[in-house]
Amino acid sequence: MNERSVVFSEHRPIDRVYRSDVRAARRRLAGRIRKTPVFHTSVAGPNGPVPVTMKLEYLQYGGTFKVRGSFNALLESPEGTEVVIASGGNAGIAAALAAAHLGKSCTVVVPESAPHTKVAAMWSHGAEVLWHGTTYAEALGYANELATQRNAVQLHAYDLPAIVAGAGVVGLEIEEQVRGRPPVLAAVGGGGLVAGIAAAIGRRQQVIGVEPEGIPTLHAALSANRPVEVAVSSIAAESLGATRIGDIAMDIARRYQVRSLLVTDDAIATARDYLWREFRIVVEFAGAAALAAVQSGVYVPAPDERPVIVLCGANTDLSVL
């Protein structure tokens, strides 16, 4: 086994992702995605105002960071005219958007629980949407079969090297936009975002994953020293509902000492409401998870520290704000 690959027990060998892969992804994505801005401000914390820098990734095309990975994967391997992906939401939106821009058709397999807001966004980018099963795992199984039957390019929502490397461009942007080397906090589901950021800048600054208590994929994996299945129960499950951390994310988390913090659903809901009330920022519950860690006191910045909070995911039902 060479240094570019690793294997977790019974699982398949995987390709490792490094900073060089993220830099290559950035070159590939030039002109395709937005360099999202940062916003220096203070937020309410348990003991008073807390200085933070918000990375406004919810402003990305499609309202999700995942478009970076979808474009990167399809540009890296341009063969084929049809794309298939299983998704509960944002990965499907991203794949549909990228495929449409590159002249490919896209089929998204979603579980029956997929929110209408996100399905409508997939349709708006020309995707064929198929419902299968009640969980992401069931949808993924059918997507695997469909991709084989159609000889289509198959994307994975988070556990594909090109997907992780594309997400990691967020980290390169933060490195350029923010002085010093402050910690970076980002939400974790399958781990593609936090893994990509860590691959990009993990040698230089601390990367911290924030998860709902009811879906501790990274936390459980770090405790067991391998990916493990977890139950899924959280208001953020539609975006962070993976039952296990991705193998690529697990490898990166171990190599770059990525930390995991757990937050309650109440803290996530409070942070989301706060973003709307104070800044008129609209994000999904998942998009507010990283801020919830700071506002609830689960993460306490060091003196004179201004952590970077990645706000990801704007595809939500506005009627519930």
Residues 222, 315 share a domain:
yes
Kindly state the tokens that stand for 47. Answer: 């003991």
Instruction: Give the structural domain span for 243.
Output: 19-64+160-320
- pLDDT tens digits along 248-261: 999 999 999 999 99
pLDDT of 7: 53
Q: Is residue 4 part of a domain?
A: no
Number of helices followed by number of strands (H, E) in the chain: 12, 12
The C-alpha atoms of residue 265 and residue 28 are separated, in whole angstroms, by 37
| Residue 304 scores a pLDDT above 70 | yes
The C-alpha atoms of residue 162 and residue 56 are separated, in whole angstroms, by 22
Residues 308, 196 share a domain:
yes
Residues 228, 294 share a domain:
yes
The count of structural domains within the chain is: 2
- Strands 259-263 and 48-56, by their bridges, are unpaired
| Residue 186 scores a pLDDT above 80 | yes
Residues 305, 254 share a domain:
yes
Last residue in a domain, options 133, 154, 175:
154
Kindly state the tokens that stand for 81. Answer: 């005219």
Last residue in a domain, options 138, 154, 170:
154
Question: Bridge-partner residues for 88, per DSSP?
Answer: none
Q: Give the C-alpha distances (Å, rounded to integers) separating 118 from 205, 217, 284.
A: 34, 23, 11
pLDDT of 113: 85
Residues 169, 34 share a domain:
yes
Q: State if pTM tops 0.85.
A: yes
- DSSP character at residue 298: S
Mean confidence (pLDDT) of the chain: 94
When computed from its CA atoms, the radius of gyration of the chain, rounded to whole angstroms, is 18
Q: Is residue 278 part of a domain?
A: yes
> Which residue, 167, 157, 160, 163, is CA-closest to 189?
157
Q: Three-class SS of residue 46?
A: coil
CATH code assigned at 312: 3.40.50.1100
Residues 211, 73 share a domain:
no
Residues 88, 46 share a domain:
no
The C-alpha atoms of residue 221 and residue 228 are separated, in whole angstroms, by 6
Q: Three-class SS of residue 106?
A: strand
Q: What mean pLDDT is predicted for residues 64-78?
A: 96
